Amino acid sequence: MIWTLMSALQWSADFLKTKGSETPRVDAEWLLSSVLGFRRVELYTNFDRPLNDVEREKYRNFIRRRASGEPVAYILGEKGFAGRDFQVSPAVLIPRPETELLVEHVIDAVQIAVNECPTRKIRILDAGTGSGCVAISIAKWWLEKVAPSGTAPSGASLLIDAWDVSEDALAVAETNSMRHGTGDLVRFNKSDMLAPESYSKDYSWDFVVSNPPYIGDEEFSQLSPGVKDFEPRLALWGYPDGLYFYQRLAQFARRSMVEQGKIFLEIGFQQGDSVKRLFESNGWASVRVELDYARHPRNVIAVNPR
> Is a pLDDT exceeding 70 seen at residue 144?
yes
- Looking at residue 195, its pLDDT comes to 73
Question: Would you say residue 79 has pLDDT above 70?
Answer: yes
Mean of the pLDDT values across residues 174-181? 98
8-state DSSP, 39: -
Q: Could you tell me the residue ranges of all domains in the chain?
A: 5-68, 90-303
pLDDT digits (tens, 9 = 90+) for 221-258: 889 889 999 999 999 999 999 999 999 999 999 999 99
Cα separation of 294 and 280, whole Å? 26
Give the chain's count of helices (H) and strands (E): 13, 9
Q: In terms of CATH, what superfamily is 90-303?
A: Vaccinia Virus protein VP39 (3.40.50.150)
| pTM recorded for the entire structure | 0.94
- pLDDT for the residue 196: 63
Report the percentage of the chain scoring pLDDT > 90.
87
Instruction: Name the β-bridge partners of 262.
Output: 207, 303
Report the mean per-residue pLDDT for the chain: 94
- Strands 157-164 and 121-127, by their bridges, are parallel
Residue 167 is predicted with a pLDDT of 96
Q: Is the pLDDT of residue 205 over 80?
A: yes
Exposure string (b/e) for 119-140, b if CB count within 10 Å is 16 or more? ebebbbbbbbbbbbbbbbbbbb
Q: What is the pLDDT of residue 290?
A: 97
Give pLDDT, residue 203. Answer: 84
Rounded to whole angstroms, the Cα distance separating 199 from 110 reads 25
pLDDT, tens only, 112-141: 999 999 999 999 999 999 999 999 999 999
